[in-house]
Structure 1
Amino acid sequence: MKIGTLFGIGATLALLSGQAFAGAGHGAANGIGEPGKAENVDRVIEVEMDEMKYSPKSIDVKEGETIKFVVKNVGKLVHEFNLGTDEMWDAHKDEMRTMFQKGMMTMKRLNHAKMMEHGMMHDDPNSVLLEPGETAEVIWTFSETAEMGFACNVPGHREGGMVGKIAMNHH
């Protein structure tokens, strides 16, 4: 009985910590849109991440448009593609710093076992964290929002200028 109770408490705490992480600057709760579905993709945009820059630097989208971003890290360091706002990225900054401090990531590698151990899998639908040479997809449906973009929240990268702009086209 004690083992079952301890497991239940542990599972509850794990779920709560995951919810706290998900709410701290990630996803639909912040009015930037919601995860899209592959069958609803209107357009595919390829994004390359390199040291302190994205290509393209700016992307035009329409309200309600579903875009599949194919994101490739062509650089030599770990980089992130994170759709969001300054407020969301500021909230996410501490989590990314913690990932470095706890050995979940280095400048060149991700340690998925440690990420799992700490309950910080970095698997939010508006974001991908990639090692050099990796490619991943983000499918997103955009809502009308003013100031949003994409940024790399690896410590020092956003501050170094690794930010891109999302421009909402209302026509």
Structure 2
Amino acid sequence: MKTRIVVGAALAVALITSVPVHGHEQHRSRGYAAGEPGDANQPSRTIEVLLSEMEFTPARIAVSRGEQIRFVLRNTGKEDHEFLLATKKENLKHAAVMKKHPHMAHDEPNGVRLGPGKTAELVWRFTRPGTFEYSCLIPNHREYGMTGHVTVK
């Protein structure tokens, strides 16, 4: 009897862990609204963004269309934080997924999750004009105001 319970539990774990978490994989087939991953060897300039409870500094960035930005992201807070660059609509949709899967790992060039005291770099080329959002989609962080905007002219 114990053997069946162990085997059943192992099968349940295998099934749960094999189900993909939706939210990031849709970009691979259609691209990114805010542009595309940049060339780390050719950034136009570097912008440092500090992530802390519950804000980004700076909260507003202006760039030119075609410009490549190396974002140096520093979590100066005491909690994990994210930087996810997309449209507001995409971030709201993704935030709903994050409520169900708060520890979702990010494997996209337009986003990163950082633990306290950690630093990461993200290089992005802005190919489309408009206003885009960077947001922390860890549940409740966005709701408490952890958003910023990039205006591309």
TM-score (structure 1 length as normaliser): 0.71
1:55-82 C-alpha deviation (Å, 9 max, x unpaired) = 1111111101111100010001111111
Structure 1 gap ranges (5+): 1-9, 105-119
Residue 124 of structure 1 is matched in structure 2 by 108
Contact 1:27–1:126 (Cα < 8 Å) also in 2: no
* Larger CA Rg, structure 1 vs 2: 2
Is 1:147 aligned to 2:131, yes or no?
Answer: yes
Deviation at 1:135, TM superposition (A): 0.5
d(CA) in 1 for partners of 2:87, 2:93? 10
Deviation at 1:17, TM superposition (A): 3.8
Aligned alpha-carbon RMSD (Å)? 2.5
- Paired residues in the alignment total 137
Identical columns (%): 37
Residue 156 of structure 1 is matched in structure 2 by 140
Relative to 1, partners in 2 of residues 1:167 and 1:99: Cα closer, same or farther, differing over 3 Å? same
Residue among 51, 58, 61 paired with 1:59: 61
Match of 1:21, as an amino acid? H
d(CA) in 2 for partners of 1:89, 1:29? 15
Relative to 1, partners in 2 of residues 1:28 and 1:148: Cα closer, same or farther, differing over 3 Å? farther
SS, match of residue 166 in structure 1: strand
More helix by share: 1
Matches within 5 A, 1:1-171: 17=20, 21-23=24-26, 29-100=31-102, 104=103, 120-169=104-153
Relative to 1, partners in 2 of residues 1:27 and 1:139: Cα closer, same or farther, differing over 3 Å? farther
Q: Which runs of 4+ in 1 moved over 4 A?
A: none
TM-score (structure 2 length as normaliser): 0.79
